[in-house]
Amino acid sequence: MEVVDPVELTRALVRCPSVTPVEAGVFAPLEQRLEAMGFSSRRLAFRSTAGGQSVPNLFARLGTDAPVLLFCGHTDVVPPGDPAAWTVDPFAGEIRDGRLYGRGAADMKSGIAAFLAAVSRFLRDRGAPRGSIVLFLTNDEEGPAIDGTQALLRWFRDNGGRFDAAIVGEPTSEAIVGDTIKIGRRGSLSGHLTVFGRQGHVAYPQRADNAAHGMVQLLARLIGEPIDGGSAHFEPSTLQVTTIDVGNPAGNVIPGRATAVFNVRYNDLHDAASLEALLRARLDSCGVRYDLRVHCGAEPFLTLPGRLTDLVGDAVFAVQKLRPRLSTSGGTSDARFLAPAGPVVECGIVGPTMHQVDEHVRIADIEALTAIYRALLDRFFDRWQC
Ligand SMILES: [Zn+2]
């Protein structure tokens, strides 16, 4: 068996322009290496919306026994934007001054390549693990994320699958690979607020009811005091107003209707229902006629520090001689879909340029992440008792 070179594999993946949800050949180099290592793999396309585009996913498994280590990643990338703004071809995988450039280099093709390389080194040195390695790779993370990890997990469980621990290879590190891992993420809830007033002449406000004034009152109430003070593992929840629209071009007309949109990133002190109740209580106290529609994009989740975080921490320490910070910051991730089924930690490369022009990773960081994943595989299969 040929050992997987993580840098070469990252380049091969970057060269496939797999902008969500187009697979663009990105699974082939993975299937080839997975099959060479003895994995059985299969493509699974799910389509939840009638008439919508189906999303390609790749499932792979080595072994049948417990314990099961699950690795999750996404092969899709965000669009490069204006290619002329890049100093390199975003899909060439160019290496310059010890850095590998390209869309998806950081988020997160290098993470997948590092994991495959780590598995191949493990198999070379130790042979088949006493347990199983399962991979969920999706080409639908940057998009709606409905037919990706979520659908893979449903399919896996429907077929009797289970896992003991899950690693998501998103870029979580800040400055040194392994310095930060994510043990949870905040929830996201959007609110669409409408205020109903009565249109009128600005000179006769007594005959009108100014919807803009009502909106100002409501928003002031929403942002006037903190939602909470944070929890043991999370920062305080935050509310950001993203738009306020009255759409009134006339300087002498009192508007009869105003709308606004806000988003709340909330911690584990709330779920969507309790947060909505809290927001409505604040709005109700204003005496303004309004309508609120909320949409929960993600509930928060937390993997409590314990067996899995210790395992990842020890693997990082073995390679980097530092202990990772356990973070819950940042946007939502696919880890939220796995959390209800088992402990999940996100551990990946340093990625400050993700989603940016000239996205790149340090070659040395790909090697460091490979070593960390390898150390993690060793510890998982040595220590994990079911
Ligand atoms: Zn990502």
Per residue in 92-115, is it b (16+ CB within 10 Å) or e — as a string? Answer: ebbbeeebbbbbbbbbbbbbbbbb
Which of 270, 298, 326 is at the close of a domain? Answer: 298
Evaluate whether 329 touches 184 at the Cβ level (below 8 Å). Answer: no
At residue 383, the pLDDT reads: 93
180 and 198 within one domain: no
What's the 177 CA to ligand 1 centre distance in angstroms? Answer: 16
360 and 264 within one domain: no
Kindly name the residue from 23, 107, 140, 141 that is annotated as catalytic. Answer: 141
**Local confidence band at 143 (pLDDT 50, 70, 90 cut-offs):** confident
At residue 50, the pLDDT reads: 63
Per-residue pLDDT reduced to its tens digit, 87-102: 999 999 999 999 999 9
Task: Choose between 44 and 332: higher pLDDT.
Answer: 44
Per-residue pLDDT reduced to its tens digit, 232-277: 999 999 999 999 999 999 999 999 999 999 999 999 999 999 999 9
What's the 171 CA to ligand 1 centre distance in angstroms? Answer: 7
Q: 359 catalytic, yes or no? A: no
95 and 236 within one domain: no
Q: Is 130 contained in some domain?
A: yes
174 and 88 within one domain: yes
Looking at the whole model, is its pTM more than 0.85? yes
Whether the predicted pLDDT of 365 surpasses 70: yes
Q: Quote the DSSP letter at residue 37.
A: T
What's the 74 CA to ligand 1 centre distance in angstroms? Answer: 7
What's the 137 CA to ligand 1 centre distance in angstroms? Answer: 12
Q: Is 1 contained in some domain?
A: no
At residue 55, the pLDDT reads: 84
Whether the predicted pLDDT of 2 surpasses 70: yes
Q: Is 164 contained in some domain?
A: yes
Average pLDDT over residues 56-68: 96
Q: Could you tell me which residues come within 8 angstroms of residue 85 by beta carbon, excluding any fewer than 6 positions away?
A: 357
Per-residue pLDDT reduced to its tens digit, 93-141: 999 999 999 999 999 999 999 999 999 999 999 999 999 999 999 998 8
Whether the predicted pLDDT of 51 surpasses 90: no
Q: 141 catalytic, yes or no? A: yes
At residue 140, the pLDDT reads: 87
What's the 206 CA to ligand 1 centre distance in angstroms? Answer: 54
**Local confidence band at 361 (pLDDT 50, 70, 90 cut-offs):** very high
What's the 182 CA to ligand 1 centre distance in angstroms? Answer: 13
Average pLDDT over residues 293-298: 96
Mean pLDDT of the chain: 96
238 and 226 within one domain: yes
At residue 17, the pLDDT reads: 97
**Local confidence band at 334 (pLDDT 50, 70, 90 cut-offs):** very high
What's the 278 CA to ligand 1 centre distance in angstroms? Answer: 32
pLDDT-above-70 percentage for the chain: 99
String of DSSP letters for 183-232: SEE-EEEEEEEEEE-B-EETT-GGG-B-HHHHHHHHHHHHHSS-S----S
What pairs with residue 254 in β-bridges? Answer: 200
Q: Quote the DSSP letter at residue 350.
A: B
Domain of 46, CATH number, reads 3.40.630.10
203 and 170 within one domain: no
Residue-number span of the structural domain to which 271 is assigned? 187-298
- The structure tokens 């994510």 sit at 182
294 and 252 within one domain: yes
What's the 142 CA to ligand 1 centre distance in angstroms? Answer: 7
**Local confidence band at 1 (pLDDT 50, 70, 90 cut-offs):** confident
What's the 52 CA to ligand 1 centre distance in angstroms? Answer: 23
253 and 115 within one domain: no
Whether the predicted pLDDT of 228 surpasses 70: yes
Domain of 276, CATH number, reads 3.30.70.360
Average pLDDT over residues 7-15: 98
114 and 25 within one domain: yes
Which of 231, 265, 298 is at the close of a domain? Answer: 298
Which of 264, 298, 332 is at the close of a domain? Answer: 298
Q: Total domain count for the chain?
A: 2
**Local confidence band at 364 (pLDDT 50, 70, 90 cut-offs):** very high
138 and 223 within one domain: no
What's the 183 CA to ligand 1 centre distance in angstroms? Answer: 16
At residue 284, the pLDDT reads: 98
Query: How far are the Cα atoms of 76, 155, 206 from residue 143, in angstroms, in the given order?
Result: 9, 20, 49
133 and 276 within one domain: no
Per-residue pLDDT reduced to its tens digit, 145-182: 788 999 999 999 999 999 999 999 999 999 999 999 99
SS3 content of the chain, % helix, strand, coil (to 5): 30, 25, 40
